[in-house]
Amino acid sequence: DTAVSQTPKYLVTQMGNDKSIKCEQNLGHDTMYWYKQDSKKFLKIMFSYNNKELIINETVPNRFSPKSPDKAHLNLHINSLELGDSAVYFCASSQQTNTEAFFGQGTRLTVV
């Protein structure tokens, strides 16, 4: 069974469109995250949720809106996509911030 699963794996879309990436974890973890990995492989945290509540919002444009319907899901919605949004987005979960984080396989977003 996949511990952290995110869909889709690949997403190609035009500038200006709105898209969503879904994430689910079956590990019973309290904390979930979204990370952005750019072409240089830099891994930057975007959001952190604990028990459905937003804990961290790291200066991400408000075009990005995370939504956590329950503890096991953290979806990422992006409005008005821009070329600079092209990256690999990783969902992750952990029991606490300072314990092992389990990452999904990533969603490669390409904005054309």
User: Can residue 14 be called a binding residue for another protein (CB under 8 A)?
Assistant: no
- Biggest alpha carbon–alpha carbon distance for the chain: 38
Among 20, 26, 51, 96, binds another protein (CB under 8 A): 96
Among 12, 15, 27, 43, binds another protein (CB under 8 A): 43
CB of 54 to another protein, least distance (A): 13
Choose among 86, 92, 87, 89: nearest CA to 3: 92
Choose among 68, 66, 87: nearest CA to 10: 87
Q: Is the separation of the CB atoms in 3 and 69 below 8 Å?
A: no
Among 14, 39, 62, 99, binds another protein (CB under 8 A): 99
User: Can residue 42 be called a binding residue for another protein (CB under 8 A)?
Assistant: yes
In the complex with another protein, the residue whose CB is nearer, 17 or 57, is 57
CB of 79 to another protein, least distance (A): 25
**Chain residues in the site for another protein (CB under 8 A):** 4, 40-45, 48, 56, 90, 92, 96-106
